[in-house]
Amino acid sequence: MRSGFSTAELLYPLTKARATSASKLPNAKANKKVVSAHQQAVQDAIANSVPNYPDVVTEAVDSGDTGDIVDNLDPKPGLLLPALIGLYTMARSLGAMDGAKLTGGDPIQGDNGNALLDNAPTMADNITNTTASTVGAIITSGVTDGQSASDINSTVGDVLNNDQRANMITLTEANRAYNTGVLDQLIASGETTFEWITYDGACADCLALEGTHPVGDDTPPLHPNCQCAIGLSGSTD
Ligand SMILES: [Zn+2]
């Protein structure tokens, strides 16, 4: 762990590989903005993503059959998609602006950000299917344990309205999009490498990735809630 910074590091924190804390990372301000603008929409979409669960619970409790619960939940990824597209668009453009400041170019919309937006329906599907699997598992174990329908419904409701999960998803996806914006900017200015920037408190897997990478390597987030950023690598000075 580092204890302090040189003047150059304070003036050009993006060119150095370690910020003091997550709140000092170059992406921190942008991600916070995106989270505050989109978390509620993400949370609402998740809360409504399996609207027929009370019927599924009633049927499973009445029949004792837990076979087709996840299929019967019929998840609605279309609710999450607009929120995801909104947050990707905003975070990616904030990343492009910061990246443009870093490289001295004009903000552009590049391939990595475009690919992320193209992938938004798949991401919405995956997140919503995970929600449905979790809800399905709660219903299955509730029925197996002989819980009442209203007890099961109440547990499902708590999970669907869990703002920690909505926050984690919003922050992680904001960071993903922000970093594509920076990366596209680096590529547009001819950089062939990027710097993986970690922070005190980052996990061991991320710390192992700290430093210079060729463009084409994976970029953060490495995992849910990963707040690592990317920046200009020192080797291209
Ligand atoms: Zn990380």
What spacing in Å lies between the alpha carbon of 175 and ligand 1's midpoint? 10
Task: Indicate whether 226 belongs to any domain.
Answer: no
For helices 120-144 and 111-118, angle between their N-to-C axes, nearest 10 degrees: 40
What are 19's strand-pairing partners? Answer: 199
What spacing in Å lies between the alpha carbon of 209 and ligand 1's midpoint? 9
- pLDDT of 22-54, one tens digit each? 888 999 999 999 999 999 999 999 999 999 999
Rg of the chain on CA atoms, in Å: 21
Q: CA–CA separation, 109 vs 88, rounded Å?
A: 12
C-beta neighbour count of 166 within 10 angstroms? 23
Task: Indicate whether 205 belongs to any domain.
Answer: no
- pLDDT of 152-170, one tens digit each? 999 999 999 988 999 999 9
What spacing in Å lies between the alpha carbon of 60 and ligand 1's midpoint? 41
Task: Indicate whether 182 belongs to any domain.
Answer: yes
What spacing in Å lies between the alpha carbon of 78 and ligand 1's midpoint? 29
C-beta neighbour count of 9 within 10 angstroms? 17
What spacing in Å lies between the alpha carbon of 227 and ligand 1's midpoint? 5
DSSP string, 32-58: HHHHHHHHHHHHHHHHTSSTTHHHHHH
Task: Indicate whether 14 belongs to any domain.
Answer: no
What spacing in Å lies between the alpha carbon of 205 and ligand 1's midpoint? 8
Report the domain count for the chain: 1
pLDDT band for 188, please (50, 70, 90 cuts).
very high
Q: What is the pLDDT of residue 144?
A: 96
- Over 80: is that where the pLDDT of 214 sits? yes
- pLDDT of 73-97, one tens digit each? 999 999 999 999 999 999 999 999 9
Its pTM stands at: 0.89
Task: Indicate whether 36 belongs to any domain.
Answer: yes
Structural domain of residue 177, as residue ranges?
27-190
Task: Indicate whether 228 belongs to any domain.
Answer: no
Buried-exposed string 183-221: b where 16+ CB fall within 10 A, e elsewhere: bbbbbbbebebbbbbbbeebeeebbebbbebeeeeebbb
- pLDDT of 104-134, one tens digit each? 989 999 999 999 999 999 999 999 999 999 9
Task: Indicate whether 198 belongs to any domain.
Answer: no
Task: Indicate whether 82 belongs to any domain.
Answer: yes
